[in-house]
Amino acid sequence: MDTMHTRRIFLKRGLTVLSAAATMPAFLQRTVYAINNPADAPLTQTAAGEGEQILVVIQLSGGNDGLATVIPLDNDDYRRARPQIAVNNPLALANGVGLHPDLTAFKDMYDQGMLAVVQGVGYPNPDRSHFRSMEIWQTADPAHPPKDGWLGRYFDAQCNGIDPKTTPDPKSGINIGATAPIAMQGEKFTAISFQRPDSYQWFAGNKNIDPRIKNTFAEVNDLHGMEGASGPVASGNPTLDFLERTALDAQLTSDEIIAVTTRYRPTVSYPGTPLGQQLQMVAQMIAGGLKTRVYYVSLGGFDTHTQEKQQHDRLMQTLSAGVGAFMKDLKNQGNDKKTVVMTFSEFGRRVTENASHGTDHGTAAPMFVMGPAIKGGVFGDHPSLRPTDLDQGDLRFHTDFRSVYASILNNWLKADSSKILYGNFKTLPLIG
């Protein structure tokens, strides 16, 4: 077997920990684990770049209605286009726009100079399919089929040297969810994914697994050292040695994540929503000192084709409460100044409401970037709502989303965005 080819297969498949494999034969567990784990040898892993800057990405899935998030003030075209669902009493910002009234935590950050509102964000020839548009945002490559993601390429680019045995530490990027998004997948790197820290556990360390299965696995893979003995013994077979190191590294990584998340108790009360719980876990890992550069969480439910107002109001409340608690927690930890939070959605919504008092798939929408390191304010003008200025009923974008990515890559993560984004994009003065 070609060891390098085998290694590349492992690295491309993603990190999946078998925590519920008790009913599987040992040989099948071994095979499934082998083809699903990218964590390479702990002795050859490198940190993803220098410094302690952290990026937290919040994906708003379904197509967030930007016109119900950042609202033009005193705009007759807006009221005419949305007689039933127009947002009332927005929280006034600059440049003639205001925030949804439930985004109170965002307004507080704005008043403190910690929130950047980037308006009119999109890309040329927009695609209104959820799946394809999300691929475009996650790969930052509208012209080609998905291969890897922009954050995955960042981790690949930060890997020192060209030795194929050297991969970024798998903890460099963590996704809270069942499967890592393509945004976090690179040629060498794929993020760790879990829904709860205790569910991310190498099954050899799971007390609920039949001891006979664990012992068989340990014997076949020579992993007795995981219990504190001498560690794996080199077999002389590079592929088997790789699997042994992979398993050991998975054990150490899962143990570390579980330890840091159980040790820290938040200083604030998080909402009981899925987003609130995701952000609480991220805060626990940041407090625990993990060398993670990027955390990725998501909030769904934004595909508001019918009766949008009530649903979107609730989503704004969820977003504000979760992010507000998270930022307060980071400040109490003393970790807020090294953390930047960014939100995005695959597209905005149509300008005119539909017959079901909802909105259909559109184009341009705002992005939020926040944290003490951010230069706060409103960036760019709100796209015109005049019917003659619309593109077949949609807003015309004026800021390419890759400009926002480039700004964060260059000025926060200290990477070369031109190599990661396949081109040079104008940066915005987002980092203070």
Structure confidence by residue, pLDDT tens digits, 338-396: 999 999 999 999 999 999 999 999 999 999 999 999 999 999 999 999 999 999 999 99
What's the CA gap between 154 and 311, in Å, rounded?
A: 35
**Residue type for 147, please?**
K
| Among 28-42, 261-275, 303-317, the range of highest mean pLDDT | 303-317
183-238: pLDDT as tens digits: 999 988 888 888 877 666 544 444 555 565 455 445 544 444 444 434 444 445 55
19-63: pLDDT as tens digits: 333 333 343 344 334 334 433 333 333 333 345 899 999 999 999
Assess if residue 9 is contained within a domain: no
Location of structure tokens 């490198």: 46
pLDDT of residue 196: 79
What's the CA gap between 257 and 195, in Å, rounded?
A: 12
More confident residue, 229 or 71: 71
Q: Is the pTM of this model over 0.85?
A: no
What's the CA gap between 194 and 197, in Å, rounded?
A: 7
Assess if residue 324 is contained within a domain: yes
Q: Is the pLDDT of residue 328 over 70?
A: yes
What's the CA gap between 281 and 226, in Å, rounded?
A: 26
What is residue 424's DSSP assignment? -
Assess if residue 321 is contained within a domain: yes
Domain of residue 332, CATH code = 3.40.720
Assess if residue 88 is contained within a domain: yes
Q: What is the mean pLDDT of residues 88-111?
A: 98
**Residue type for 171, please?**
K
What's the CA gap between 201 and 378, in Å, rounded?
A: 43
pLDDT of residue 43: 32
DSSP string over 131-167: HHHHHHHHHT-TTS---S-HHHHHHHHHS-SS-TT--
Assess if residue 39 is contained within a domain: no
Assess if residue 130 is contained within a domain: yes
pLDDT of residue 51: 56
Q: What is the mean pLDDT of residues 275-293?
A: 94
pLDDT of residue 146: 84
What's the 3-state SS for 240-251?
Answer: HHHHHHHHHHHH
Which residues on adjacent β-strands are paired with residue 57?
Answer: 296, 342
Assess if residue 431 is contained within a domain: no
Angstrom CA distances, 143 to 34, 225, 332, stand at 33, 48, 43
Q: Is the pLDDT of residue 295 over 90?
A: yes
Query: What own/partner pairs with CB < 8 Å and gap ≥ 24 does 391-394 have?
Result: 391/363, 393/350, 393/351, 393/352, 393/362, 394/126, 394/350, 394/351, 394/362, 394/363, 394/364
What's the CA gap between 372 and 93, in Å, rounded?
A: 18
Q: Name the residue range of residue 365's domain.
A: 54-154+272-420
Q: Is 276 helix (H, G, I), strand (E, B) or coil?
A: helix
Q: What is the mean pLDDT of residues 310-315?
A: 98
Indicate the helix (H) or strand (E) that contains 27: helix 26-34
More confident residue, 265 or 371: 371
pLDDT of residue 167: 56
308, 357 contact by CB (below 8 A): yes
Tally of structural domains, the chain:
1
What's the CA gap between 428 and 335, in Å, rounded?
A: 24
| Among 162-171, 232-241, 309-318, the range of highest mean pLDDT | 309-318
Assess if residue 45 is contained within a domain: no
Which residues on adjacent β-strands are paired with residue 193?
Answer: 175
pLDDT of residue 174: 93
Least confident of 13-17, 145-149, 183-187, 343-347: 13-17
Angstrom CA distances, 96 to 17, 119, 282, 311, stand at 50, 12, 34, 25
pLDDT of residue 158: 82
